[in-house]
Amino acid sequence: MTTIFDKIINGTLPAEKVFENERILAIKDIHPVAPIHFLIMPKKSIRDLQSVKSEDLALIGEMVQVAQSLAVKYDIVDGYRLLTNSGPEAGQSVFHLHFHLIGGRRLTHELG
C-alpha cells in the first residue's frame, strides 16, 4: 500500500525535512503537538513496529541514533519523547513505520 510517507520519501509530496540519508528520512509533523515534533521513518516500507523483522533491527537502531542527534541539534536533550503507534487500536493513522520525536516543552505523563 502506498502511504503519504511513501510519497514524501519518493519526492512526489513535499515535506519539511530535518534529516535524510540513504535509509532514513525525518520530517516535521504537519500537526505538531509540541515545539519540536518530528517523524523519523525508514525509507524501506515497513507497516508498523509489529512488522519489524530481525533483519530490520539495525535500521531501528539507526532511527534511534537519528533521534539522539536531532535531540542535540534542536536542543531538547534534557527531555523528549520517542514513540510509535503500532496498529489502528493505538491510533496509528499512516501505515508506514515512524517514530514521533516530541519535545521543546514540559511533557505531561498522559500517554494514553
The secondary element (H helix, E strand) that includes residue 4 is: helix 4-9
The 8-class DSSP code of residue 67 comes to: H
**Cβ-based neighbours of 43, under 8 Å, separated by 6 or more:** 9, 22, 23, 24, 25
- Is there binding between residue 27 and ligand AMP (CB under 6 A)? yes
Contact with ligand AMP (CB under 6 A) among 26, 46, 92, 97: 92
Which amino acid belongs to residue 62? E
- Is there binding between residue 15 and ligand AMP (CB under 6 A)? yes
- Is there binding between residue 62 and ligand AMP (CB under 6 A)? no
Q: In terms of DSSP bridges, do strands 80-83 and 17-20 run parallel, antiparallel, or are they unpaired? A: unpaired
Which residue's CB is nearer to ligand AMP, number 54 or number 91?
Answer: 91
- Is there binding between residue 49 and ligand AMP (CB under 6 A)? no
The 8-class DSSP code of residue 112 comes to: -
Which residue's CB is nearer to ligand AMP, number 54 or number 111?
Answer: 111
Cell 493513522, residue?
93
- Is there binding between residue 40 and ligand AMP (CB under 6 A)? no
Q: Which residues are catalytic?
A: 98
- Which residues of this chain interact with ligand AMP, rule CB under 6 A? 4, 15, 27, 29-31, 39, 85, 91-94
